[in-house]
Structure 1
Amino acid sequence: MKKLKVLDLSNCFHVKRTPNFSTSANLERLILYRCVSIVEVDGLICHLNRLVSLEARHCLNLQRLPDELGGCLASLEYLSLKNCRSLERLPHTIGNLESLSELNISGTSIKELPDSIGKLKNLKVVKMGESNLSKIPDAFWTIEKLEEIDAHKKYDIEHFHVKIGNCIYRNQSLRILKLKSADIYELPKLPESLIELKLWELNVDTFPDLSNLTNLKILNLSFGVPNDDVKSNALVEDPMPRWIGDFSKLESLALRSPYVTTSPTDLTLPPHLKSLHLRCPNMRRLPRLPSTLSSLCLQFCYSLRSVEDLSNLKKLSTLEIWHGAISEIPGLGCLENLRDLKFWSLGQVEILPDLSKLNKLRRLRVAWCDNLIEIQGELPKSLEVLKIFSCESFQKLPDLSSLNELQMVATNHCGKLNVEAISRLCSEKSIRFLR
């Protein structure tokens, strides 16, 4: 045992205690994955002063780590406690793990982090997803080597208040900052090193100035209710600042805001943007869409009554429009690379154009379009999945007999549709039919 470097006890469901490590001083990696009966990690782990990695994911009944943990594992670089649901605290000595570079406490019951966490000067990655945390201590933001922060609360936790310390700007190593389902009431200046930023929810009534973040590749912002009740009903009149167009490296933009009303008429989105996801119920006008888009999703944009001609989006592979007042989609029939098309709750749409030229379309899903009467022309021969739900006015599908790639047809609550004829055709062609 003296030469043992890796000990893997994965799926040892009946092991209740960690082993006696007094004769395993050279151990470098300890794996306790899904040791669901272990209640505590014994203090004898302190004999492992060469331990580099401690993997204790899914130890569902683990309740305690030894208080001496930080005093003896000076070589520990990786500590994962993911989904240790019974674990409610970290020992205060964790700040003494001077070599620790990655910490994962996602899915635990830890309610707060000890202030000593600010002493982890070599910490680079922290994951705290689906956690019970109610706040993040100020000391956390002083860790200057952090490269990735990923935190979000459990669905049943009422508040997860996050106050981002002003000192975060000094951290020019930070590349990924993801705070989801968090209450954020103010946002300090963030470091230019960021390449991915996801903030849910920003409880402010004006768009934060992020103009210095020109290295961003992914930007995802969700706005909630501002802290100032007086301003809570105000609309942001310039929701997409012009500096977004300067983000030349941006590939994905998602914006969810009840305050967005419009966008500057001359706003040009970044030239390499591939994904655009908007959930803005008061948005009345879209910005100009770049031809580089491969995914476009418009959700709950109730005030958006028209969209520009989409025929220039030659790279678009996914188009989703949910809950809107749009009556037609110009250029839809020209999207030659479209693979997935979804329309939900578009009550003003009466006719879909001929889609026969969409030679790469695989999935067509239409639901709750109450006034949709027909799909003109033919469907593309590439189609594999066709779903039409709750379109009460829909009268007739295009001919399906020549669609040799078709694998599934689903219709439901389309009262004027001849479902029996569709069912017979699907049976003859061995196509799965659901209704």
Structure 2
Amino acid sequence: MQIQELHHSIGEMTRLEYLSLASFCFLETLPDSIGQLKSLLELELNNTRITTLPHSIGDLKMLRKMSLLGTQIKQLPNAIGGLQSLLNLDLRGTCISELPSSIGNLKRLEILCLDGSAIRELPKAIGMLESLKDLEARFCENLEGEIPIEIGDLSFLRMLDLRSSKIRRLPTTMNQLSHLQQLCLCQCDQFEQLPELPMSLKELEFPPHLLWTTPNLSYLTNVVDLHVWGGTQLVDFTQGAPNIEWIEGLSKLERMTLCMRDAIFPPINLVTLSRLRSLEMTCVDPHFLMELPSNLERLSLINVKSPIGMSLFSYLTNLSTLNLGKCWLREVDFDNALGQQLEKLHSLDVRESKLLERLSVSRLKGLQDLTVLACPGLMEIQGTEKLELLEALFIHRCSSLERLPDLSELKKLRRVNLALCPLQNLPELRLPETCHLTLNGCGISPAFDGVYKEWKDTQSQRG
């Protein structure tokens, strides 16, 4: 569409409420006549080649949402402050490096999205956005330094997401944000120290190195989600144990991630977290976990280097999903570690364990899904044929696994997916006839994806 055609069309659409030019990817200019669309509620210019907005954009007094996602715009005009009804401004993926001070006139703005933009700093005028609820600045690689103290004036702010930016500090005024529920600072590798935070927080994410500088956060008694991960290359593990004792006081916590490469945690008793349902954490030595809450449903242990004892699982009668990643043990005997008390354990996932040679699962009678991925030293999975409730079996990239047992008596088995495993007894593989079988890179050609009976019939014909 030529600019003249668009100008002419606008003259005939003065009552238009929604305008999307996203399909006109070659459009480079927006005509001044855009300001004539007095009834326009939404304007979408996504992924066009538009480099500037005309001054008349400020005449769209009814506009509620404007999306410039992926455009070539480098600067917003001061006239942007005239959009007195604007609720949602989407600047994702733009080349905009700074916001004009007139943005402070957007008194009704509720959502400001800067994800992946070239923004270098947030202006002091940000504190004038009295209705702002969500401020998103994820993956803004140029955003650095400090967030202005004026952000403390955003009394309705619910979410502040600064992940993967270069900011160093949040202002002390953060504790004034009485409605803030979500604060995300993960992958902010240059961040120095958390200030006092508002007690309204329900979700908190930050990089692991802050565990060595973070004060006691046990006062955040409303936190439901706590995720500490990423940026582990910055952690100096010689400076002592991280500060995690305060976690025991987060009585409303339901989901927690605590992952860093080789950290040795001090002993911690999480039994006080009676609402905790999901836990993922680095667990070099499982003995530091003194006790886990009985209501835990999902547990992921990463980087395990010491044998897992039965005491860790003694009270986990509600555990349904167990993940073991990057384990450094040669043998994992879940029969002895878990015993028979985990009747609700339905899913087991073991992956990226280079040293693992033997896995024992015969006593996991309630298991429905078993996944084993990227365990190149694994030679044997003991007891799979005894898992009467097993429905799905996935084994990928286990280059030392040469045999599978007879699984034909597992009447509930619905799917078996095998990839890049040199199974020597594959011709003798026995499954329920209606089981869906996927084979890829297991010594047969071509790959197979279909019902087991069809594959077996094909093998018989070849024989």
TM tier relative to shorter chain: 0.7 to 0.9
- CA offset at residue 331 of structure 1? 1.7
Q: Secondary structure at the match of 2:126?
A: helix
Q: 2:450: which partner in 1?
A: none
The answer on whether the counterparts of 2:415 and 2:435 sit within 8 Å (CA) in structure 1 is no
Bigger Cα Rg: 2
The equivalences for 1:25-424 within 5 A come to: 25-57=14-46, 59-69=47-57, 71-82=58-69, 84-140=70-126, 143-153=129-139, 159-161=142-144, 163-189=146-172, 190=174, 191-202=177-188, 203=190, 204=192, 205-207=209-211, 208-209=214-215, 210-222=217-229, 224=231, 235=239, 237-242=241-246, 244-258=247-261, 260-268=263-271, 270-278=273-281, 285-286=288-289, 288-299=291-302, 301=303, 306=308, 309-310=312-313, 312-325=315-328, 328=332, 329=334, 330-331=337-338, 334-346=341-353, 347-348=355-356, 350-354=358-362, 356-359=364-367, 361-368=368-375, 370-371=377-378, 373-376=380-383, 378-392=386-400, 394=401, 396-404=403-411, 405-414=413-422, 417-422=424-429
Contact 1:13 1:37 in 2 (8 A): no
C-alpha distance in structure 1 between counterparts of 2:272 and 2:425, whole Å: 45
Once the two structures are superposed, residues 50-90 of structure 1 have per-residue CA deviations (whole angstroms, 9 ceiling, x without a partner) of 32222333x34333322332x312222222223x2433333
Distance 1:407 1:374, change over 3 A: closer
| Residue 200 of structure 1: how far off its partner (Å) | 1.8
Please report how far the alpha carbon of residue 252 of structure 1 lies from its aligned counterpart in structure 2 after TM superposition.
Answer: 2.6
Amino acid at match of 2:102: S
Cα distance change, pair 381–123 in 1 and its aligned pair in 2 (3 A)? same
More helix by share: 2
Q: Give per-residue Cα distances to partners, 1:129-173, cap 9 Å, x unaligned.
A: 33333443444355343222222227xx5x542633334344342
1:330-354, Cα deviation, whole Å (9 max, x unpaired)? 2276544444432123325633221
Hey, what's the Cα distance between the residues in 2 that align with 1:55 and 1:291? 50
2:81–2:102 Cα contact (<8 Å) kept:
yes
Q: How far, CA to CA, are the matches of 2:16 and 2:320 in structure 1?
A: 50
SS for the counterpart of 1:321 is strand
User: What amino acid does structure 2 have at the position aligned with 1:323?
Assistant: K
Query: Which amino acid is the alignment partner of residue 253 of structure 1?
Result: M
Aligned-pair distance for 1:281?
7.2
Could you tell me how far apart the structure 1 residues matched to 2:290 and 2:56 are? 57
User: Could you tell me the TM-score, scaled by structure 1's length?
Assistant: 0.77
Indicate how the Cα distance of structure 1 residues 23 and 428 shifts in structure 2: closer, same or farther if over 3 A, else same. Answer: closer
Measured in 1, the distance between the counterparts of 2:157 and 2:339 equals 41
> How many residues are treated as equivalent by the alignment?
409
CA contact (8 A) 2:17 2:42 kept: yes
Question: Whole-Å Cα distance in 2 between the matches of residues 256 and 380 of structure 1?
Answer: 34
Whether contact under 8 Å (1:245, 1:270) holds in the other structure is yes
Q: Given that residues 385 and 407 in structure 1 are in contact (C-alpha distance below 8 angstroms), is that contact kept between their aligned partners in structure 2?
A: yes
Distance 1:418 1:281, change over 3 A: same
Whether the aligned pair in 2 keeps the contact of 1:381 and 1:402 (CA below 8 Å) is no
What is the one-letter code of the residue matched to 2:98? E
Q: In the alignment, residue 50 of structure 2 is paired with which amino acid?
A: L
What is the CA distance between 1:103 and its match in structure 2? Answer: 1.6
Q: Which amino acid aligns with 1:45?
A: I
Alpha-carbon distance between aligned partners in 1 of 2:343 and 2:377, rounded to the nearest angstrom: 27
State the superposition RMSD in angstroms. Answer: 3.8
Cα distance, 1:100 vs structure 2: 1.9
How far did 1:110 drift? 2.9
Write the distance in 2 (CA, Å) between the matches of 1:275 and 1:18: 56
- The amino acid across from 1:47 in the alignment is Q
Task: State TM-score, norm by structure 2.
Answer: 0.73
In structure 2, distance between residues paired with 1:395 and 1:64? 63
